[in-house]
Amino acid sequence: MNISKAMRNAATLLVVRDSSAGMEVLMLRRPERAGDLYSGACVFPGGVVERHDRNLYACCAGVDDARASSRLGVRDHGLEYFIAAIRECFEEAGLLFAYQDDGSMADPARLAGETNFAELCRKFDLRLAVDRLAYHSHWLTPPGLPKRFDTRFFLAVAPASQAVHLDQHEAVAHYWLRPDEALVRKLELKLRPATRRTLETLAAFATADECYQHALKSRHIEMQIPRRGRGSAGERILLPDEAAYAEIARLDPDGRADVAYEIEHDVALRLSERVIRITAANGNMMTGPGTNSYLVGGGERNEWAVIDPGPDMAAHVQQIVAAAPGTIRWIFVTHTHRDHSPAAALLKSLTGAMVHGQRAPDQDWQDRTFQPDYVPSHGERFAVGDDATLRVIHTPGHASNHLCYLLEEEKTLFTGDHVMQGSSVVITPPDGDMAAYLASLQALLREELEWLAPGHGHLMDRPHAVIEKTIAHRLMREIKVINALRALSPVDSETLLARVYDDVPVRMHPVAKRSLLAHLIKLVHGGLALERNGLWCIL
């Protein structure tokens, strides 16, 4: 990844300590300054790496530049980040991570009268305790801001017997707070997104040493780049695990902040030269922000296909037609649940497009009005533009007639409801089949994929990681079912539901009950469980 030359290197030090209330972390409040992004914010000690920090390499204990650079994943001069973290913590908070001649920690109170950090190290023959710093995380400020920082976060246990003394310039107040306490007080404390997320990671640890040892052993630390987006609440910063993050990073790499972090209903959003998304205004507990319809195609002929025309909503169909840059020639349906296929008939009547999809099973939850002109088979390819090819992948599980469509040129998989964003897919027997669902997910891991375009929600990157996480979630839920059966057999389904889905809101239990039944049927077919007189038993 290319990083702008205007990016300034910086370092932050997370200082933790134990107290009777639990592990605490040091936080500083910045002064109020006009035009300063961090004005009045509560932050951790830190600041920019200065050029003269390199002059202190010989004053470092236990870690040389080669080792420090290897730890940070840089070619050279990684040690300057460690030094900057120690220097900034001393300058802002008066805490000094340095050894004296005898190997004991230096006492800042005995080093009075010297304000230049480099001179202080030389005058008192100090050795900077870079060996006490554990690399914690790596953050970049969002693209598009006038000032950007490439910041390495380190973590260290507070030196015993040292007290905080603020410089009253970069910090005007300090707090020792439990991470969870700081998060609860977020309305009182101004927290930047990276600070908030860091506090969330620290809140998992009970003691300072436990936190330090975890950071010391951590590997493969990924660079985190927040992104800016627009929405009903105005502009805000999104973190990498938020739903719209990958989509905004793809559509707005330069940080214009003109891409919405919310799904906007019946608004055409160009996702690529070949793909446009329009989302129906049918959002609810089951459909999330609404059902996505995708226009796929283009090229010189300017012909387009629609994937999932959506529910029977005339206004939505009109928006699909209006959004199409050219002629709509094909309609492809992923499955015949009532939020995906019913609009096919109206869209066909308006455009004359040929409808593709598998017929609906004669069961509830299905759109029995769906009448395809052509029933595609697994592996079939359809040229829907001069340079746009859709390949059919049969993915039973959520529905027996479920199809995904792979746009081969962009390695983008239109997943329908097979993989959803932000929630688990409901498997409703008898048409829904848990064993078939897991097998279909495993088959997708063999496909070369770069993006998932779900039936509900935003584009998702890292498709294989998403699919593997989905499989792992299902298998962990199955383990909970097995453990509950072992503990409670024979047991009725309501008691099982409360035990197995104890981490799911009670309002969602009627929906979860369908997937529980799918898990139980899978165990029965696998010879691991048995149902007798309405009670379930482990075998």
Active site residues: 339
Three-state SS annotation for 143-198 = CCCCCCEEEEEEEEECCCCCCCCCCCCCCCEEEEECHHHHHHCCCCCECCHHHHHH
Amino acid at residue number 196: R
Neighbours of 190 (CB within 10 A): 15
- If one counts every other C-beta atom within 10 angstroms of the C-beta of residue 382, the result is 18
Joined tokens for residue 329? 């020639």
Is residue 79 within 8 A of residue 57, CB to CB? The reply is: yes
Cα dist from 399 to 11, 65, 74, 371, 427, whole Å: 51, 57, 49, 17, 8
Find out whether 274 and 297 touch, Cβ atoms under 8 Å.
yes
Q: How far apart are CA 111 and CA 361, in angstroms?
A: 81
Structure tokens at 496: 């099982």
Strands 98-99 and 236-238: unpaired
CA distance 484 to 314: 47
Both tokens assigned to 194: 């990276």
Task: Tell me how far CA of residue 258 lies from CA of 215, 227, 235, 319, 324, in angstroms.
Answer: 36, 11, 9, 21, 22
Greatest pairwise CA separation for the chain in angstroms: 87
CB atoms within 10 A of CB 475: 11
Q: Rounded to a whole number, what is the distance in angstroms from the first to the last CA of the chain?
A: 53
Catalogue the E-assigned strands of 20-81.
Answer: 22-29, 42-43, 46-48
Residue located via tokens 């390495």: 152
Long-range contact pairs involving 196-199 (C-beta distance under 8 Å, separation at least 24) = 197/224, 197/239, 198/14, 198/44, 198/136, 198/137, 198/153, 199/25
Beta bridge partners of 389: 383
SS3 131: helix
Which distant-in-sequence residues (6+ apart) come within 8 Å of 493 by Cβ? 513, 516, 517, 520, 534, 536
Q: How far apart are CA 370 and CA 360, in angstroms?
A: 7
The secondary structure of residue 288, as a DSSP letter, is B
